């Protein structure tokens, strides 16, 4: 079966798929600044690649993938080319975003993501210092990516009373609106493009 993405408009931006629009809505729910397909990059192996999202405050590239792994090697190649040292404070992070599904506790749709290369342990944390959620590699630098802090000893801020740590499947997922008005706007958008 060949599954084709359905282009979707969210916040006036035409996304290649509803899943991409849903992740944009999730970013909005978390209060994150995001850019959709901001630039194309040439990878170390010569391939050209345009990641789906860039989260500039966190320095995170995000690739949205449905239930397939088609062309997932580009995200892995990007992460491998960013740094050979997983503890490098200035290295951007690459995250693979998956479709939401029922969480580990069996209740509601949850956000699912995964690492781009082996050896990472990607989680989402709530920083008690700045109050922002963000991706973090537990196998790398233990700091909020929104305001990197250099400390003599790693600070496990997610274990503090105000801190939270979420693994894939634990954080509730927020979808882009699918109301009648959104459907009408989507139809108008496609009719304008066809004219």
52 and 62 in contact (C-beta within 8 Å)?
Answer: yes
The count of structural domains within the chain is 1
DSSP secondary structure code for residue 17 in this structure: S
The tens digit of pLDDT for each residue in 12-40 reads: 999 999 999 999 999 999 999 999 999 99
Q: Residue 22: in which H helix or E strand, if any? A: helix 18-30
Q: In this predicted model, which residue has the larger pLDDT, 179 or 100?
A: 100
What residue numbers bound the domain in which 128 lies? 8-187
Supply the pTM of this predicted model: 0.82
Any domain includes 125: yes
Any domain includes 1: no
Any domain includes 194: no
Any domain includes 3: no
Any domain includes 193: no
């Amino acid at each position: 079966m060949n599954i084709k993405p359905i282009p979707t408009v969210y916040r006036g931006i035409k996304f290649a798929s509803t899943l991409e629009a849903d992740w944009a809505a999730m970013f909005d729910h978390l209060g994150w600044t995001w850019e959709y397909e901001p630039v194309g990059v040439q990878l170390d192996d010569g391939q050209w690649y345009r990641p789906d999202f860039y989260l500039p405050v966190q320095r995170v590239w995000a690739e949205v993938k449905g239930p397939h792994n088609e062309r997932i090697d580009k995200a892995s190649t990007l992460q491998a080319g960013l740094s050979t040292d997983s503890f490098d404070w200035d290295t951007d992070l690459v995250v693979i975003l998956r479709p939401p599904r029922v969480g580990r506790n069996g209740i509601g749709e949850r956000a699912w993501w995964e690492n781009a290369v082996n050896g990472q342990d990607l989680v989402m944390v709530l920083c008690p210092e700045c109050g922002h959620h963000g991706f973090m590699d537990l196998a790398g630098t233990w700091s909020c990516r929104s305001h990197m802090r250099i400390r003599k000893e790693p600070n496990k801020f997610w274990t503090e009373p105000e801190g939270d740590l979420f693994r894939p499947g634990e954080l509730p997922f927020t979808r882009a609106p699918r109301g009648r008005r959104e459907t009408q706007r989507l139809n108008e958008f496609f009719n304008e493009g066809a004219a």
